[in-house]
Amino acid sequence: MFQMTSSSDYIIEVRIDVLKTLKIAGITAGVLTAIGLGAYYIHQHTQRTKRVILRDEVKNILEPFQLSEDQLRRVMANLNTEMTNGLKSNDHTDKNDLAMFPTYVHYGPNGQETGEYLVVDLGGSNFRVSHVIIEGRNRLRLNNKIFLIPHSLLLGEGEKLFDYIAECLQRFIDDNKLALSKSSDYKFDLAFTFSFPCNQTSLRQATLVSWTKGFSCTGVVGNDVVLLLQQAIDRRKGLKVQVVALVNDTVGTLMACNSIYRDCKAGVILGTGINACYFENLDNVLKWKDEQNQTAKQVVINTEWGALGKNGCLDFIRTTIDRELDSSSSTPQQQIFEKMISALYLGEIVRLIIIELVQRSILWPGRMHKTPSLRSDYNIFLILRGSFYAKHVADIECDTTEDLSVTSSILTSIGIHNPTYDDCYIIREVCKTVSLRAAKLTAAAIAVLINRLNQPSVTVGIDGTLFRHHEKFKKNLTRTLNRLVPRTHRLVLSEDGSSKGSALVAAVDRRTKETTASS
């Protein structure tokens, strides 16, 4: 039976029905969307990365590379202790892991710096000459050129390397007609970005303690590198340049970033090598002996933290592969931390794990014997140190193609033809694991820096290929760091630190001297 309703009642009833319908439709849509998304993810997961059940042997090899939070906190504690010890005495040659070199840089730029500078940057995969004009209020103009260094020069006589640097400098000045408008007695001020462990006794005096990153020229270790460069410059008649500052790349990075972010008090390099510097209170630098500067309260410390582990404090996480890599390197027992993280070594760690997996017949089982024509290619990869690059690790790690075709073509490009899906899957797991460990260790180290700086907020300036180009590494680093330090912090990519930042070091020095002279 129909019940009589007034028209207003009817309207209310209709409204309620509409609402109900919408609600049901909404729930249905929600459920359908959820089912759809679920199906999509299951499809993605099964299709994209058809899971390969890793054999226990693979798991056992990778397990020591997987670091727990407790282990990371132990790394943090050890690094912190080594930093404190390094600030007490100059015993870095034997007792202390970390050199903690005072850099004689006391202040960041305040925006009043001006002038024209040349910068020579030696230390990574490239050698660069720059012309920097600082126009005040941190406005900078920069022009630079990358020069290739013949490999033989990196391993030959130091004097030849410095002569080559001076020659490139001359070419750069001539090509850009920089000397044209200058008076005959004008000398360019040059900042020398030299990214190796140097014991500084002033801004322009620095003894090389040891080479790193595969450099090994003779006649440089134990000598003042500023003097070596100045002598090479002076040997070229007509080259009017004076070296006014020696700058580590971390310090350049810090200065470039500090000119933009006032709370930037640390500079980190994550590239061919790894290292960090930060502003430390002079009261904490017990070994500080500079009578000249009575007013400064802080100094930038070049930690040289790539050397951590020299005396065994990282032994609890070092794997047999790490030890193998170290003992077959040209610098055994040195740069232990660097060898676990930097772009120069990441690929090599992966290659050594791959060799282990091949030897246990887990990767491309039997194929080396069945296909004699492939054997030599495989062997080149297996024998040749350094034939697998950090870039390969980064690209393989990010391979989300259905058939792992990126991984497959990288492997083919280095001589491993027609790898199977399982080969590619396992190698991608290896790359992920090695890269994650490096990111976590870096996070632990940066966490120590942030804690030591003890500011309400800290910006850390970072440069280097791992941070600039290796997306996954950067993500893992940021995620782990957020877990390790609740304190407010941000990581900022520093642009052209090794050139701009070094010019700023020279400019700050010039400004502070002018201020002192006029007061």
Question: How many whole angstroms separate alpha carbon 465 and alpha carbon 307?
Answer: 20
Shortest Cβ 312–ligand BGC spacing (Å): 20
Q: Are 415 and 381 in contact (CB under 8 A)?
A: yes
Q: Please confirm, yes or no, whether 213 is among the known catalytic residues.
A: yes
Closest by Cα among 277, 129, 256 to 190: 129
Shortest Cβ 515–ligand BGC spacing (Å): 29
Task: Considering the candidates 213, 310, 432, 474, report the single residue annotated as catalytic.
Answer: 213
Only segment of 55-63, 175-183, 266-274, 436-444 that touches ligand BGC (CB under 6 A): 266-274
Amino acid at 155: L
Shortest Cβ 248–ligand BGC spacing (Å): 5
Q: Which residues sit opposite 280 in a β-bridge?
A: 299
Which lies closer to ligand BGC via its Cβ, residue 277 or residue 430? 277
Q: Which residue in the block uniquely carries the two structure tokens 């050890």?
A: 78
Q: Does 127 bind ligand BGC (CB under 6 A)?
A: no
Which lies closer to ligand BGC via its Cβ, residue 153 or residue 208? 208
Q: Which residue's C-beta sits nearest to ligand BGC? A: 273
Only segment of 69-77, 168-176, 268-276, 317-325 that touches ligand BGC (CB under 6 A): 268-276
Shortest Cβ 215–ligand BGC spacing (Å): 9
Q: Does 124 bind ligand BGC (CB under 6 A)?
A: yes
Which lies closer to ligand BGC via its Cβ, residue 120 or residue 363? 120
Pairing relation of β-strands 264-270 and 241-247?
unpaired
Which lies closer to ligand BGC via its Cβ, residue 257 or residue 354? 257
Q: Which of 103, 250, 319, 502 binds ligand BGC (CB under 6 A)?
A: 250
Q: Which of 102, 108, 109, 123 binds ligand BGC (CB under 6 A)?
A: 123
Q: Which of 86, 273, 461, 501 binds ligand BGC (CB under 6 A)?
A: 273
Q: Are 157 and 220 in contact (CB under 8 A)?
A: no
Task: Considering the candidates 97, 121, 189, 249, report the single residue annotated as catalytic.
Answer: 249
Which lies closer to ligand BGC via its Cβ, residue 78 or residue 250? 250
Q: Are 192 and 245 in contact (CB under 8 A)?
A: yes
Q: Please confirm, yes or no, whether 474 is among the known catalytic residues.
A: no
Q: Does 463 bind ligand BGC (CB under 6 A)?
A: no
For helices 405-413 and 390-397, the axis angle rounded to 10 degrees is: 160
What is the chain's Cα-based Rg?
28
Which lies closer to ligand BGC via its Cβ, residue 336 or residue 363? 336
Q: Taking the alpha carbons of 328, 194, 246, 270 in that order, is the dihedral positive or negative?
A: negative
Contacts of 507 (CB under 8 A, 6+ apart): 109, 113, 114, 115, 117, 134
DSSP string, 460-494: EEEESHHHHH-HHHHHHHHHHHHHH--SEEEEEEP
Q: Does 275 bind ligand BGC (CB under 6 A)?
A: yes
Q: Counting beta carbons within 10 angstroms of the beta carbon of residue 495, is it exposed (0 to 12), middle (13 to 18) or buried (19 or more)? A: middle
Q: Which of 269, 443, 485, 508 binds ligand BGC (CB under 6 A)?
A: 269
Q: Counting beta carbons within 10 angstroms of the beta carbon of residue 299, is it exposed (0 to 12), middle (13 to 18) or buried (19 or more)? A: buried
Angle CA 437–439–445, to nearest 5: 105
Q: Does 102 bind ligand BGC (CB under 6 A)?
A: no
Which lies closer to ligand BGC via its Cβ, residue 195 or residue 319? 195
Which lies closer to ligand BGC via its Cβ, residue 363 or residue 443? 443
Which lies closer to ligand BGC via its Cβ, residue 78 or residue 212? 212
Shortest Cβ 199–ligand BGC spacing (Å): 12
Q: Which of 97, 280, 338, 496 binds ligand BGC (CB under 6 A)?
A: 338
For 271, how many CA atoms within 13 A lie in the half-sphere containing its CB?
23
Shortest Cβ 337–ligand BGC spacing (Å): 10
Q: Are 129 and 120 in contact (CB under 8 A)?
A: yes
Q: Which of 86, 158, 197, 501 binds ligand BGC (CB under 6 A)?
A: 197
Amino acid at 144: N
DSSP letter, residue 307: G
Question: How many whole angstroms separate alpha carbon 330 and alpha carbon 386?
Answer: 12
Q: Does 499 bind ligand BGC (CB under 6 A)?
A: no
Q: Does 195 bind ligand BGC (CB under 6 A)?
A: yes
Beta strands in 195-297 (DSSP E): 198-202, 205-208, 241-247, 264-270, 274-281
Contact flags string 201-230 toward ligand BGC, x per CB under 6 A: -----------xx-----------------
Question: How many whole angstroms separate alpha carbon 93 and alpha carbon 410?
Answer: 41
Q: Which of 86, 108, 267, 306 binds ligand BGC (CB under 6 A)?
A: 306
Active site residues per annotation: 213, 249
Task: Report the interface residues with ligand BGC, using CB under 6 A.
Answer: 123-124, 195-197, 212-213, 248-250, 269, 271, 273-275, 304, 306, 338
